[in-house]
Amino acid sequence: MAKILIVDDAAFMRKVIRDTLSKAGYTEIEEAVDGQDAVEKYSQFKPDLVLMDITMPNMDGLEALKAIRSKDSNANVVMCSAMGQESMVVEAVQAGIKDFIVKPFKSDRLLKTVSTIVGNP
């Protein structure tokens, strides 16, 4: 069973993503509230996939992505963020993200990306 780490400073967004994944059958889900929390949880939880917001307090998604990839160059990270952040997306692609999902997203788009990377539950 795939382990998935959801990283977003908005509790509502974490809940939406968790609910979508849970309904699809994914059960090993952990959450982080910002990039710093994500880096710590990544080391403890060792997820197969990280779904991460770009814009967060303390440590943004790009910094967290780079920190995670420095520890695990094979880390599967998908960035989820609103439109208008194209320069950050380009930087994230260069840093090794697997995909980018624009918020607000449809649940089928999220699930297609997740299943492509980690398989079905």
Quick check: is 83 in a domain?
yes
- 82 found inside a domain: yes
CA-closest candidate to residue 81, choices 58, 106, 61: 61
In a domain, 8, yes or no: no
CATH of the domain at 58: 3.40.50.2300
Strands (E) located in 1-121:
3-7, 28-32, 49-53, 77-82, 99-103
Within a domain: 43: yes
Q: Is residue 39 part of a domain?
A: yes
| In-domain check, residue 71 | yes
**Predicted local confidence at residue 81, as pLDDT:** 83
Average pLDDT over residues 39-61: 96
Helix (H) or strand (E) holding 88: helix 86-94
The total number of residues written for the chain in this structure: 121
Each residue of 59-90: pLDDT tens digit?
999 999 999 999 999 999 999 987 666 778 88
Closest CA to 44 of 66, 68, 21, 61: 68
What is the domain extent for residue 31?
24-100
**How many structural domains are present in the chain?**
1
